[in-house]
Amino acid sequence: MKFDTIIIGGGLSGLTCAISLSKKGQKCAVISAGQSALHFCSGSFDLLGYSNGSLVNEPLKAIASLPETHPYSLLGADRVASLTASVKPFFSEMGITFHGDESRNHFRITPMGGLKPTWLTLSDFTPIETADSLPWKKAAILNVSGFLDFHTAFIADGLEKFGVECSISAFSLPETDRIRKNPSEMRSSNLARIFEEEETLRKLVPIVNERGKDADIVILPSVFGLFSSRSMELLKSLTSVPICLLPAIPPSVPGIRVQYIIREYFRHLGGIYTLGDTVASGKFNGDVLKSISTVNQGDIELKADNFVLASGSFFSHGLAAQYKCVYEPIFNLDVVADADRSSWCDSNFFESQPYMSYGVATDADFHAKLGGKSIRNLYVAGSVLSGFNPVKESCGAGVSILTALHVADLIAKK
Ligand SMILES: Cc1cc2nc3c(=O)[nH]c(=O)nc-3n(C[C@H](O)[C@H](O)[C@H](O)COP(=O)(O)OP(=O)(O)OC[C@H]3O[C@@H](n4cnc5c(N)ncnc54)[C@H](O)[C@@H]3O)c2cc1C
């Protein structure tokens, strides 16, 4: 089987790259071993929230302060600026819309009631403008009875630090009680399926209005809108009190929605998306990757002019570690990682963990390196890249999206 480009990994980065290439007329295939980090997404995409441990207000201006090995430094500040400007239109074409823009970070409320800087927040979530205050005096936190993945007491504790007076209550409907009989069914994605039914959603309206009558805001777990933001838009239009959704413990309903929409959009553009197959190895001819093999396809080699590695970090098995080394498991590409195992982690859990910035080594054009040499048709995008710390810098989605768009442009211009 021969394609223009094969993308390894079907998360945010792989699919962004695949969609961009398909729109440029390429015949693409995405092979993905499993689900992606989007299933853990907060509902916001980060660009650059912290640099050298300090809060960043204007992410585009802070790019210059990053180390030269950071993916944003490889792209260059001008390129980052032009790519970020294209991101909202890119996603809105698929029906994914956001609050926020790249000129200034806003803040998202964490599942613990804290505030974190971010770039784009899905439009059914609530952006917060400043780091030190919330726009409400009284909040009614409303949970589904028996839903243990939404930590109302922690949220109240967090919000009260900002001077917000909180009340906590729970509601049940016959539909939610039905899945409560089996504790393992009481997950956010199953609740979201229930609230896809308009009749059920409408039953929530008087409950929200009643519990929120003395509050400025009703806070609900993010269990609405598995396939689109329609159910949340409807609920907001029917209730008399403003609603704010907060992320619950994964699976993340907004993340599943983004994954579903971008995957279906890629298919709609004619792309081939194979879920549940693992790329196992590749055949090289000098500095060119000729073909790859997968676990399910066995002896059938998949060929393409170009390949993109977007297989994620340790979390998605794009990187792996043995006792003595960190490695890239498909091609054994060069990685940037400390050789000495004792340097991988900081014993202070809350410090920046060195292993978080390990990843595949590339040249300035994001070609993977093998034995010190660039592979001229194998590009790297997303969280498998080295040189950044998505947790300490709050830059995960930004790196994933921008490097994917950049690599797609490089391939298309070849
Ligand atoms: C738990 C968690 C939560 C996060 N939340 C946020 C957030 O809220 N906001 C934010 O900005 N960033 C967040 N991030 C950062 C995150 O890394 C990026 O936002 C982004 O989603 C990563 O996308 P990716 O495509 O690079 O990698 P991934 O999403 O990890 O996708 C990699 C894909 O490659 C596949 N794969 C791996 N190996 C193979 C193989 N051999 N063959 C075929 N397929 C393979 C995997 O199955 C997976 O589908 C989070 C990260 C994690 C780990």
- pLDDT tens digit string along 37-75? 999 999 999 999 999 999 999 999 999 999 999 999 999
Full DSSP string of 331-365: T---EE--SSGGGS--SSTTSPPGGGG-EE-B-TT
| Cis amide bond preceding 117, omega within 30 | no
In Å, how far are 133, 154, 328 from 113, measured between CA atoms? 12, 7, 37
Phi, psi of 350 (to 5 degrees): -85, -5
Please report the DSSP string for 201-224 in residue order: HHHHHHHHHHHTTT-SEEEEES--
Averaged pLDDT in 10-residue chunks for the chain of 414 residues: 94 98 98 96 97 96 96 98 98 97 96 94 95 96 96 96 97 93 88 95 97 97 94 94 94 97 98 97 98 95 98 97 96 97 93 95 98 98 98 97 98 95
Q: Is 52 exposed, middle or buried (0-12, 13-18, 19+ CB in 10 A)?
A: exposed
Residues 6+ apart with CB under 8 A from 252: 38, 39, 40, 41, 42, 43, 188, 222
* CA 292 to ligand 1 center in whole angstroms: 21
First to last CA, the chain: 22
Cα gap 245→242, rounded to integer Å: 10
Q: Report the residue among 96, 119, 294, 311 best suited for mutation to probe ligand 1: largest number of ligand atoms under 8 A from its CB.
A: 311
- The structure tokens 């279906």 sit at 264
Q: What residue ranges do the domains of the chain occupy?
A: 2-97+256-412, 112-248
Residue with the smallest CA separation from ligand 1 atom 49 is: 36
Residue nearest atom 14 of ligand 1, based on CA coordinates: 396
Between the CA of 287 and the centroid of ligand 1 the distance, in Å, is 27
Return the best residue to mutate from 107, 353, 383 for the ligand 1 pocket (most ligand atoms within 8 A of CB).
Answer: 383
Cα angle 9, 245, 183; round to 5: 75
**What would the pLDDT profile of 339-351 be if each residue is shown by its tens digit?**
999 999 999 988 8
Q: In this structure, which amino acid lies at residue 2?
A: K
Name residues contacting ligand 1 (CB within 6 A): 8-14, 31-38, 40-42, 44-46, 278-279, 310-312, 315-318, 330, 382-383, 390, 396-397, 400
Bridge-based pairing of strands 115-118 and 243-246 is unpaired
The strand pair at 44-45 and 120-122 is best described as: antiparallel
What is d(CA 306, CA 7) in angstroms, rounded to the nearest whole number?
9
pTM of the predicted protein model: 0.97
Read off the pLDDT of residues 295-333 as tens digits, 9 standing for 90 and up.
Answer: 999 999 999 999 999 999 999 999 999 999 999 999 999
How far is 348 from 345, CA to CA, in rounded Å?
A: 8
CATH of 112-248, one of 3.30.70, 3.30.450, 1.20.120, 3.40.50: 3.40.50
Q: Are strands 367-370 and 373-380 parallel, antiparallel or unpaired?
A: antiparallel
Which CATH number among 3.50.50.60, 3.30.70.20, 3.90.470.20, 3.40.47.10 corresponds to the domain 2-97+256-412?
3.50.50.60
